[in-house]
């Protein structure tokens, strides 16, 4: 195909992130400067965000046969870029300003490089309309995360988490590739729409069913759905806190967005036995995630199990796949990203600058209200939002998912969602109660006294205010999501 100016304009967010990558790499090669690497990375992400309104066009535009740029892609691009910007800001606080005594003892600058590279993979993934595009985006997203998770390599837990994630992620990718090969063998095409049309004409043969099943295993691993979830709590606990935040938000949003596009554009990949399999996975993820979180005394592991349950809730809207479904998924993912960034942001600031291990044990948060009241307020709002309590952003997301399930009469799934939410309420309240208990004389980590005046703290307070604002007045978010429908629908 012939590239025109219109194609380059459509590619602007991806081009800006790629250019930022090169600039940061050259800056590191020229002179190691932590502050400069952070400023360049943050500036590039802000520019990429500002380029989205310029790049957005009313009509969907296809750039090669691999990528499609439409309102849906740009909405999820914005979500990934915002999440990455928040994680980069948190990483700056976490790694510490000065080398040596205070903060991270190794090289700091490469963390920004890996995060930007992974974000670029996420941007490719949400635009993918072709299985080759999907795989390229997914690998570009996943491979830098191996390095990010094991970034604190002198910490045994971090190294263990990195190796676990690398081995299991490679196995997930192998399943995905084999599934794609089987689909291609049957349909003769790799484009989502053409696969859908071909399979609709021929019917689902055993080969197609095996291919779709294998792809579901690969994507289920990336989204940590039950029974492909075993890596999640260990990796969240071992990874540095800003990396856990990135893994829980930007990484998962990109994979779920491409799963939604595949599910909607290839109707033959939905319905029938696949819906039954997804329903079982959804119920197992909702109940399993919430039940496993009940006895956790580590906040990162608790949030890891909680994320398994949240993606189980999202599957309810995916299975419904009509009416409000695309809108409900957009609203839920936006509110989930906001609250997860807030929760992991508090852990990051409590662990800032780097002290060898993160402040993720629940006892370290006991009596936090009496020491850091505003930080406690932020974490309380995040826990209420994750629990789906009214007047928080999380309530709006959960309400939409329930409405979608009711609209499509998925009563078993709605029952599991209500039961899971009731179980979840217990462990979220447990975290909140811990924050207000009388403080014992334990050795503890604490956020710096001036945390609210630093970039990470300002960003965290903005997230808390936004989570509350969207819970009270969700209209701006709803209008954004309504415009971000799939172009082919």
Q: What is the CA radius of gyration of the chain?
A: 21
Q: Which residues pair with 298 in a beta bridge?
A: 361
pLDDT tens column, 49-101: 999 888 887 777 778 888 888 888 888 999 999 999 999 999 888 887 765 55
CA distance 211 to 176: 8
**What sign does the dihedral 369-373-378-380 (CA atoms) show?**
positive
pLDDT at 145: 92
Residues 6+ apart with CB under 8 A from 211: 178, 179, 180, 181, 182, 183, 185, 186
Distance, in Å, from the CA atom of 355 to the CA atom of 347, rounded to the nearest integer, reads: 13
CA angle 133, 139, 140 (to 5 degrees): 85
State the pLDDT confidence band at 41, using cuts at 50, 70 and 90. very high
Q: Are 113 and 21 in contact (CB under 8 A)?
A: yes
Q: What is the pLDDT of residues 223-256, one digit of tens each?
A: 889 888 888 899 998 899 999 999 999 999 999 9
Element (H, E) at 359: none
pTM here is: 0.91
- Residue 132 and residue 49: Cα distance in Å, rounded? 26
405 neighbors 414 (Cβ within 8 angstroms): yes
In this prediction, what percent of the chain has a pLDDT beyond 90? 28
pLDDT in tens, 407-462: 888 888 889 899 999 999 999 999 898 888 876 555 556 666 666 666 777 888 88
Rounded Cα distance between 20 and 43, Å, is 8
Neighbours of 92 (CB within 10 A): 26
pLDDT at 117 over 90: yes
pLDDT, one tens digit per residue, over 22-31 is: 999 999 898 8
Calculate the alpha carbon distances from 346 to 19, 93, 129, 427 in Å: 31, 11, 37, 17
- Residue 317 banded pLDDT, cuts 50, 70, 90: confident
Concatenated DSSP letters for 297-358?
Answer: -BHHHHHHHHHHHHHHHHHHHHHH-STTHHHHHHHHHHHHHHHHHHHHHHHHHHT-S--SS-
């Amino acid at each position: 195909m012939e590239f025109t100016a219109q194609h380059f304009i459509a590619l602007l967010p991806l081009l800006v992130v790629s250019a930022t990558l090169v600039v940061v790499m050259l800056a590191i090669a020229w002179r190691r400067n932590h502050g400069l690497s952070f400023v360049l990375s943050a500036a590039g992400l802000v520019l990429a965000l500002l380029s989205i309104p310029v790049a957005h066009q009313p009509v969907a535009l296809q750039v090669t046969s691999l990528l499609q740029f439409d309102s849906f892609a740009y909405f999820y691009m914005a979500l990934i870029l915002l999440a990455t910007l928040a994680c980069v800001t948190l990483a700056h606080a976490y790694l510490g300003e000065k080398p040596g005594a205070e903060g991270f003892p190794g090289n700091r600058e490469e963390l920004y490089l890996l995060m930007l590279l992974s974000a670029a993979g996420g941007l490719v993934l949400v635009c993918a309309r072709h299985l080759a595009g999907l795989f390229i985006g997914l690998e570009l997203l996943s491979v830098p995360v191996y390095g990010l998770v094991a970034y604190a390599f002198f910490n045994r837990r971090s190294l263990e988490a990195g190796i676990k994630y690398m081995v299991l992620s490679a196995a997930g990718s192998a399943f995905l590739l084999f599934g794609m090969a089987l689909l291609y063998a049957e349909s003769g095409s790799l484009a989502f729409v053409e696969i859908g049309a071909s399979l609709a004409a021929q019917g689902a043969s055993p080969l197609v069913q095996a291919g779709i099943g294998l792809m579901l295993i690969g994507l289920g691993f990336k989204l940590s759905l039950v029974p492909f979830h075993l890596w999640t709590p260990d990796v969240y606990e071992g990874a540095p806190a800003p990396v856990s935040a990135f893994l829980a938000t930007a990484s998962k949003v990109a994979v779920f967005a491409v799963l939604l596009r595949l599910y909607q554009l290839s109707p033959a990949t939905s319905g029938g036995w696949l819906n039954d399999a997804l329903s079982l996975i959804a119920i197992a993820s909702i109940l399993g995630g919430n039940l496993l979180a009940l006895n956790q005394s580590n906040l990162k592991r608790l949030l890891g199990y909680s994320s398994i349950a949240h993606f189980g809730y999202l599957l309810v809207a995916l299975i419904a796949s009509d009416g409000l479904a695309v809108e409900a998924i957009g609203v839920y993912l936006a509110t989930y990203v906001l609250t997860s960034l807030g929760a992991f942001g508090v852990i990051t600031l409590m662990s800032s600058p780097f002290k060898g291990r993160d402040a993720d044990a629940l006892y370290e948060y006991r009596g936090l209200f009496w020491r850091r009241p505003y930080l406690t307020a932020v974490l309380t709002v995040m826990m209420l939002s994750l629990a789906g309590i009214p007047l928080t952003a999380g309530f709006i997301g959960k309400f939409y998912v329930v409405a979608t399930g009711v609209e499509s009469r998925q009563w078993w799934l709605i029952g599991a969602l209500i039961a899971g939410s009731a179980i979840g309420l217990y462990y979220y309240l447990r975290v909140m109660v811990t924050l207000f208990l009388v403080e014992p004389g334990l050795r503890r980590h604490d956020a710096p006294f001036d945390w609210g005046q630093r970039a990470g703290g300002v960003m965290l307070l903005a997230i808390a205010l936004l989570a509350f604002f969207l819970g009270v007045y969700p209209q701006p978010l709803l209008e954004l999501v309504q415009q971000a429908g799939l172009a082919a629908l």
